[in-house]
Amino acid sequence: MAGYGTEGSQVKALAAAVMLFVGIAIIAFAASLRQTNGHLVYALDDPYIHMAMARNFALHGVWGVTASHFTSSSSSLLWTAGVAALFRTLGIHEAIPLLLNVALGIVLLWLTFRCLTRSATQLSNTYVFLALTGIALAAPLPALVFVGQEHILHSLLNLAFVAVAATCLAQSEGLPPTSVRTLCVLATLLPLIRFVSLFVVAIVTAAFAMHLRWKPAVLVVTCAIVPVALYGALSYSYGWYWLPNSVLLKGAHPDFSSLRGVVRAFGGVSYARLIQLPALTFLVTAAIAALILRLARGARDDAQWMLGIFVVLTLLHTQFAQPEAFWFFRYEAYLVVLGSVVIARVLGEWLSTIRDQTSRVRTAIQFGAVLLFALSPLSDRAAKALVNIPQATANIYEQQYQMGLFLARFYEGRPIALNDIGAASFLGQIDCVDLAGLADIDVAKHLLSGLYESEDVRDIADNKDVRIAIVYDSWFGNRVPASWRRAATWTVQNNAVLGSNTVTFYAVKPEELGPLRVHLDEFSRELPSTVVQRFAF
């Protein structure tokens, strides 16, 4: 792949990057199976929430984690509906989200290839391959495959939307109708994939309005808002909020009651999140520097707009939508993809201008670019993601997956209180009472009001006839009702993604303590050897 080549020869670099991505995913899958006794297990509990909702929608026509009633628990309406359609067509198979993400990863690499080569077709094949591979690993696509959710799809359509919008904004004359239609389609889909996409739609709409292009501005923002409003009206009709609980509970809420709150509300949260995400900080810094250099040279093209949109979008996302906790690289993945693509494109365009230099100079410059990536936080992010895939799937298998199997055996169809609801709901097929609020409107109301005490937990469990609860004591602390009787704990080692390495089983009703201990003792024969069960006395 050495030297400069035609677009046809660069396709070979794309094919090589795709094969490497798929190969890494296969190796990671094999390594994961060795950690999970041959079971396909995802790296987080959250994909099982989507799969539980998708199964209930496919089989029962109920949009909810529980088959009996509506719950506004998915922040990705299109992903959940798409998985439901595949479940309805192909059957309920846990592998569907994983295989779907592999396919979407390949499409994302193709779109990245198109973005890199659209204005600099004489990039070296080596550079194209290294750029595609670096972006895939930094995203990180292999880890996102095992996240089993919508994040690769979100990265794909977000990149497409920004690329098309930047092309339109760079044009000084009228916009082609096909481009406007494409923007409208993408603007409709993006919020249905992730509600945070309203940020990028708002940025593009504001840019069109600043240039007095009112028609595309109105069309784009309307296409984004209407489907969100329709879902909100449906959710409200069921007695839920206009936005999914996960969006409301995980987002940052301004607090102007103190100086610290004011500072955080006006950029302090964004600063703190960027400190926690050095790879994203590196990309934002590089994008700002590239934008300043291009503006200083008088460049006015789509790359300039992509750089600007990326910077503003990152600041909005980190201020309002990036959780503080580690969620296996997924929330910021679409920003890493967008930033990496635009930086790689700008760098590639510059490299294509030095073709007249000697071979030694070109090689030195290309080596310097590779070295910059290797020493940047992007390579550290890529390495940590690859290393953590088997351990993350092992953690979920040891804790949430076993909870689901336990509940399926002894408590199927019964109301169970939990704080991690995904695998328990999908595998156990229980009547889920979510004490963390994602799938319970009563809990969400208490959390959003700031008034959620042990008496509230007790009343919610009693009103729904909960017999047992499985929770993290480290999360609930004094919120655990005094009347609940502790039965046992499960503890795992080498925790990479779990909210806590110890989960506690409680008998909510005193008469349930004996049967719960018997069930736990019987199930202990099937627990992985890495899980330590301790009975409470």
- The conformation of residue 429, written as its DSSP 8-state character, comes to -
Tell me if 469 sits within 8 A of 508, measured CB to CB: yes
Tell me if 310 sits within 8 A of 162, measured CB to CB: yes
Tell me if 109 sits within 8 A of 334, measured CB to CB: no
118 residue type, one letter: R
- Mean pLDDT value across residues 184-208: 97
Query: How is residue 231 written in tokens?
Result: 């879902």
The pLDDT of residue 334 is: 98
Kindly indicate the confidence band of residue 67, based on its pLDDT and cuts at 50, 70 and 90. Answer: very high
DSSP string for residues in 377-411: HHHHHHHHHHHHHHHHHHHHIIIIIHHHHHHHHH-
Considering only 166-170, 199-203, 352-356, 396-400, which range has the smallest mean pLDDT?
352-356
Distances (CA, A) of 80 to 54, 150, 154, 209: 6, 9, 13, 33
Q: Decide which of 240 and 323 is more confident.
A: 240
Smallest Cα–Cα separation from 40: which of 99, 86, 120, 81? 99
Query: How is residue 380 written in tokens?
Result: 């550290």
- Mean pLDDT value across residues 463-483: 94
Q: Decide which of 493 and 2 is more confident.
A: 493
- pLDDT tens for 250-265 read 876 777 777 777 788 7
CA–CA separation, 304 vs 167, rounded Å?
10
Torsion of CA 111, 14, 339, 254, to 10 degrees: 60
Tell me if 529 sits within 8 A of 509, measured CB to CB: no
Tell me if 51 sits within 8 A of 400, measured CB to CB: no
Considering only 241-255, 359-373, 477-491, 516-530, which range has the smallest mean pLDDT?
359-373
Q: Which long-range contacts (CB under 8 A, 24 or more apart) does 106-109 make?
A: 106/18, 106/21, 106/22, 107/156, 108/141, 108/152, 108/155, 108/156, 108/159, 108/337, 109/14, 109/17, 109/18, 109/21, 109/135, 109/136, 109/141
H/E stretch holding 351 reads: helix 333-352
Residues in the chain: 537
pLDDT over 60 (residue 5): no
pLDDT over 50 (residue 3): no
Query: How is residue 92 written in tokens?
Result: 């309920």
CA–CA separation, 157 vs 197, rounded Å?
10
Q: Whole-number mean pLDDT of the chain? A: 92
- Mean pLDDT value across residues 373-384: 91
- Mean pLDDT value across residues 353-365: 66
Q: Where are the domains of the chain?
A: 7-387, 388-535
- Mean pLDDT value across residues 382-400: 97
Kindly indicate the confidence band of residue 243, based on its pLDDT and cuts at 50, 70 and 90. Answer: very high
- pLDDT tens for 320-345 read 999 887 789 999 999 999 999 999 99
Kindly indicate the confidence band of residue 10, based on its pLDDT and cuts at 50, 70 and 90. Answer: confident
- pLDDT tens for 266-310 read 889 999 999 999 999 999 999 999 999 888 887 678 999 999 999
The pLDDT of residue 1 is: 39
Kindly indicate the confidence band of residue 366, based on its pLDDT and cuts at 50, 70 and 90. Answer: low
- Mean pLDDT value across residues 205-212: 95
Distances (CA, A) of 31 to 223, 389, 413, 495: 43, 9, 34, 17
- pLDDT tens for 84-123 read 999 999 999 999 999 999 999 999 999 999 999 876 556 7
SS (H, E, C) 161-227: HHHHHHHHHHCCCCCCHHHHHHHHHHHHHHHHHCHHHHHHHHHHHHHHHHCCCHHHHHHHHHHHHHH
Kindly indicate the confidence band of residue 126, based on its pLDDT and cuts at 50, 70 and 90. Answer: confident
The pLDDT of residue 482 is: 94
The pLDDT of residue 364 is: 72
The pLDDT of residue 260 is: 77
- Mean pLDDT value across residues 420-428: 96
pLDDT over 80 (residue 77): yes
Query: How is residue 38 written in tokens?
Result: 């041959």
The pLDDT of residue 7 is: 58
- Mean pLDDT value across residues 164-184: 92
Smallest Cα–Cα separation from 340: which of 378, 383, 290, 380? 378
The pLDDT of residue 436 is: 94
Kindly indicate the confidence band of residue 371, based on its pLDDT and cuts at 50, 70 and 90. Answer: confident
The pLDDT of residue 174 is: 78
Longest dimension (CA), the chain: 83
pLDDT over 70 (residue 6): no
34 residue type, one letter: R
Q: Decide which of 442 and 3 is more confident.
A: 442
The pLDDT of residue 258 is: 77
CA–CA separation, 452 vs 68, rounded Å?
25
pLDDT over 70 (residue 362): no
pLDDT over 60 (residue 2): no
- Mean pLDDT value across residues 176-190: 96
